[in-house]
Structure 1
Amino acid sequence: MSHCYKLICSLIDIFNHISVSVSVNREEDDSKSRLPVPGSVLDMFTGEDEDPLTDDSMQHGGRIRSFKHERGNWATYVYFPYIPEEGFLELLDEMTEVAASHSFSLTHTDEFHLSLSKTVVLRHHWIQPFIQSLRTGLTHSRRFICLAEKLKVYSNDEKTRMFLAMEVSTGQAQLLELVKAVDSTMEEFNLDTFYKNPSFHISLAWCVGDCTEHIRKKCLQELQGLVDSHEDGPFLLRLDCQELRCKAGNKTFSIPLH
């Protein structure tokens, strides 16, 4: 009986040793045969959270979002960038000082631009097809020049901010044609199109709240006087419309015109 018991124990030890060896070898084989995930696949999931989650208005000068930020939602708009000309920033500083003397605290716009769309929300995986649709629709669009010289005040749709801007006086027809192309892409993605009768303008400065009427009554004429009497003559803002841009979250795409 003792001999049989020892034999059984020996067999169990051998079985356990074989089981462990097989398990270890299988794990080694799995690790050797397991291929790394391709970078192109990993890249599909990057960027979903690149758009910052911070929604603190105090970090944006008191500005309030037009819509709630959610992961994977990218605030998107189409525009022409404006590169300040000589004397522009000095003129803007003068206008800011005059506004301050009337108790209006104006902040320079971060990036001067002329909008060709409303700000809409794109899902991350829509961005590339959205940009491709824009490129296709603008294939035959040509370069041109916009001029602006008259000051005007605007408020956003939510009436949470006021903008001091220069309204376009030359180039409106070409801008309307571009808006048609941009609107076509917006409709393709079931997004809001631009305003029906747009007043094209380049925003110069802004302040929190809707004080458009107060500025019109108190100091708009004085501000326009600064523009009209600038150095050698009236200041004429010139915008070379050579390259349309689309900003989606923290990504900017360029679409050159021909």
Structure 2
Amino acid sequence: MALVAYSDSESETENTRPSSPSPPRPAKRLRGEQTSTSSSKKDGDKATSLPPLPTGFHDLYAHSTRVSVRDDPSLHGGRKRVIPHVEGNWPTHLYLEWYPSKTEVSILNDILSQARGQLEEKEKEKEMKIHTLLYSDLGAQLPLHISLSRPVVLVTEQRQPFSELFRDAVLDSGVNPFDVTLVGLDWVSNYEKTRWFLVLRVQRPENDGLNRLLKVSNQSLAVFGQPPLYETLSQQSLPESRGRSKKGTLPRDKKGADKTAKASEQPAVDYSHCFHISIAWSLNEPSPEDRERVANVDLSALRGFRVHFSSVKAKIGNNVLNLALPTKKLHERGFAGF
């Protein structure tokens, strides 16, 4: 694999990441002990299934290899960089991540194949190419997500204060782990309308966790002057501005997390119709006929399909902060149940 030169800001993040533990040394074999290698297995023996990777593994490799610091759409299937690369700026995204099982990926892949079949005529006429989000260009499975923020930018001195504020707000939000169900196929665009996404709509969970976490995310970002997702600035009730510096940093003794958490308990507007999980993307805008076509895709395989979320993630640059949602016991008795 070729080495990639990173900027100073990226190198700083890489240096702060804990190094991977060294693999354990194999134990010495006793004299006469029979070795068990793949070559000694008899034909017909079933291979032992490997255990699943730890949840934190995907956070270590949540960013792709950078090929160029310049915006070169030819390197990314025609996609244009939404946030230009600027030294000292840290692209930031808040989201809920879902890593589907092999069975779930198979179902999603079948739905995507049906959608492509429905749009096959249009693809020939408009050269409308649909790119999967289930796998990378090298065929590796990719995690899916529900966004809780737009792609926004923090500067270097805001990274730590924002991480602390958002961590406290999520912990105090009272939002426990929850499940969502998938209810429909649709097209949505990004804010710049440079890409359109084939998405699965999600149903409002019982504890209204999506709306409440959206409120926490929007208000946490508002402290640092960042725009909200789905909400308009006029709808957003901002935390008190006193105690904030011009750069949006917060003093250590006053983070404003209490106001952010309390506001999340009763969201003013229901944005359940906005939340979605993207499974593919295209550079071409779908027509009304295209929307009708994908609406006719058979989604019966999704009946009883439940996606579980137990944490919120904040990706700041190439560093991922994984924040576990408090359980009922933690919420009632405090941190770690004490």
- TM-score relative to the length of structure 1: 0.72
Q: How far is the alpha carbon of 1:98 from its aligned partner?
A: 3.4
Cα deviations by residue, 1:46-81 (Å, 9 ceiling, x for unpaired): 538999524211222211122322112121110010
Please say which of residues 198-207 and 46-55 is displaced more in the overlay.
46-55
Residue in 1 that maps onto 2:288: 213
Say if 1:88 and 1:212 are closer, same or farther in 2 by CA, change over 3 A.
farther
Cα deviations by residue, 1:132-164 (Å, 9 ceiling, x for unpaired): 110111123322112213112101111111111
Q: How far is the alpha carbon of 1:202 from its aligned partner?
A: 0.9
SS at match of 1:87: helix
Residue in 2 that maps onto 1:23: none
Cα deviations by residue, 1:5-24 (Å, 9 ceiling, x for unpaired): xxxxxxxxxxxxxxxxxxxx
Residue 168 (1) aligns with residue 202 (2): yes
SS at match of 1:147: strand
What are the equivalent positions in structure 2 for 1:230-241 lying under 5 Å apart? 230=301, 234-241=302-309
Residue 136 (1) aligns with residue 168 (2): yes
Task: Give the partner amino acid of 1:170.
Answer: R
Of 157, 178, 185, the residue aligned with 1:125 is 157
Of 225, 243, 246, the residue aligned with 1:190 is 225
Of 74, 95, 107, the residue aligned with 2:131 is 107
In 2, Cα distance between the equivalents of 1:237 and 1:249?
Answer: 33
In 2, Cα distance between the equivalents of 1:174 and 1:131?
Answer: 20
Q: Which of the two has higher C-alpha Rg?
A: 1
Task: Give the partner amino acid of 2:170.
Answer: L
Task: Give the partner amino acid of 1:254.
Answer: N
What are the equivalent positions in structure 2 for 1:1-258 lying under 5 Å apart? 46-47=11-12, 53-101=69-117, 102=120, 103=123, 104-109=128-133, 110-140=142-172, 141=174, 142-171=176-205, 173-196=208-231, 198=271, 199-211=274-286, 213-217=288-292, 219-223=293-297, 225=298, 227-228=299-300, 230=301, 234-258=302-326
2:100–2:143 Cα contact (<8 Å) kept: no
Q: How far is the alpha carbon of 1:211 from its aligned partner?
A: 1.8
**Percent identity of paired positions between Structure 1 and Structure 2:** 27
Residue in 1 that maps onto 2:240: none
Say if 1:238 and 1:188 are closer, same or farther in 2 by CA, change over 3 A.
same
Aligned residues: 209
Structure 1 gap ranges (5+)? 1-42
Say if 1:220 and 1:100 are closer, same or farther in 2 by CA, change over 3 A.
closer
The structure in which a higher percent of residues are helix is 1
Q: How far is the alpha carbon of 1:206 from its aligned partner?
A: 0.8
In 1, Cα distance between the equivalents of 2:103 and 2:10?
Answer: 46
In 2, Cα distance between the equivalents of 1:236 and 1:85?
Answer: 15
Structure 2 gap ranges (5+)? 1-7, 16-62, 134-141, 232-269, 327-338
2:200–2:279 Cα contact (<8 Å) kept: yes
CA RMSD of aligned residues (A): 2.6
Task: Give the partner amino acid of 1:210.
Answer: E
Say if 1:237 and 1:128 are closer, same or farther in 2 by CA, change over 3 A.
farther
Cα deviations by residue, 1:205-258 (Å, 9 ceiling, x for unpaired): 1111322534213x21332x1x22x3xxx4444221211001112111111111
Q: How far is the alpha carbon of 1:95 from its aligned partner?
A: 3.3
2:180–2:203 Cα contact (<8 Å) kept: yes
In 1, Cα distance between the equivalents of 2:287 and 2:195?
Answer: 9
The structure in which a higher percent of residues are strand is 1
Please say which of residues 103-112 and 154-163 is displaced more in the overlay.
103-112
